[in-house]
Chains A and B, each alone.
Chain A
Amino acid sequence: NAGVTQTPKFQVLKTGQSMTLQCAQDMNHEYMSWYRQDPGMGLRLIHYSVGAGITDQGEVPNGYNVSRSTTEDFPLRLLSAAPSQTSVYFCASRPNQNTGELFFGEGSRLTVL
């Protein structure tokens, strides 16, 4: 069981570039979510999904897109990167939207120049 796997671990982008952060889990969890964490701050919810084909916005969704075509994968897309999106991004999953604790990936550190 690998748990929650995020790739890449580090990425540097130029302003205006696009990229996708990948998140995969092998625990058959229905619920998946993306958070961002700025230096010295707590985690803020970007988007979440309660099952394949269903996504919804969190606290800070602007500038990010998500899709959930399979139970295992929940990619986060930055359409046109901005310096304000420099952050550490965490993907998390739990069995379903109602029960269980969150399992987190190790994070993806993104720098936008």
Chain B
Amino acid sequence: DAKTTQPPSMDCAEGRAANLPCNHSTISGNEYVYWYRQIHSQGPQYIIHGLKNNETNEMASLIITEDRKSSTLILPHATLRDTAVYYCIVRSFNTNAGKSTFGDGTTLTVKP
């Protein structure tokens, strides 16, 4: 699976959009981009995933560049409860690729 690079930390004002970048320049054609978050010491929680089209759900939007080498997770109206570590991972749906590996993620702090 492709390696991802994320900034270690970011701040965001409450009520503003939080834009979290992820670089995955070695991504291949059959690899999806997944985002998870981990609030405090809880188990990570799935947010969203995509292949090449932009995706939106009730939690967030995912923007993937046309060359697929980077993506941005957007929390449209960040709240204090969105303070968490956000993980971007890339995963193949190849039958031999059972592993999902996580990096260190981005610590997002939402400030009042």
Chain A interface residues toward B at CB < 8 A: 4, 31, 33, 35, 41-45, 48, 50, 56, 58-59, 88, 90, 92, 97-99, 101-107
**In the complex, which residue of chain B has the Cβ closest to the Cβ of A39?**
B41
Interface pair A48/B36, CB less than 8 Å apart: no
Contact residues in B for A41 (Cβ distance below 8 Å)? 104
B8 to chain A, nearest CB (A): 10
Interface status of B44 (Cβ within 8 A of chain A): yes
Chain B interface residues toward A at CB < 8 A: 34, 36, 41-46, 49, 85, 87, 93-95, 97-105
In-complex Cβ contact of A97 among B36, B44, B45, B98 (8 A):
B98
A44 to chain B, nearest CB (A): 8
**In the complex, which residue of chain A has the Cβ closest to the Cβ of B94?**
A98
A32 to chain B, nearest CB (A): 10
> DSSP class of B's interface residues: helix, strand, loop or mixed?
loop
Interface pair A102/B101, CB less than 8 Å apart: no
**In the complex, which residue of chain A has the Cβ closest to the Cβ of B35?**
A101
Interface pair B102/A35, CB less than 8 Å apart: yes
Interface pair B104/A42, CB less than 8 Å apart: yes
Give Cα A40–Cα B86 distance, bound, in whole angstroms.
Answer: 13
Give Cα A102–Cα B104 distance, bound, in whole angstroms.
Answer: 17
Contact residues in B for A92 (Cβ distance below 8 Å)? 43-44, 100
Interface pair A107/B43, CB less than 8 Å apart: yes
A52 to chain B, nearest CB (A): 14
Given contacts A41-B104, A42-B87, A99-B93, A90 and B44 within 8 Å (CB-CB): yes
Give Cα A56–Cα B45 distance, bound, in whole angstroms.
Answer: 24
Q: List 5 A-B contacts (CB under 8 A).
A: A41-B104, A43-B87, A45-B101, A59-B101, A106-B42
Given contacts A45-B101, A59-B101, A104 and B45 within 8 Å (CB-CB): yes
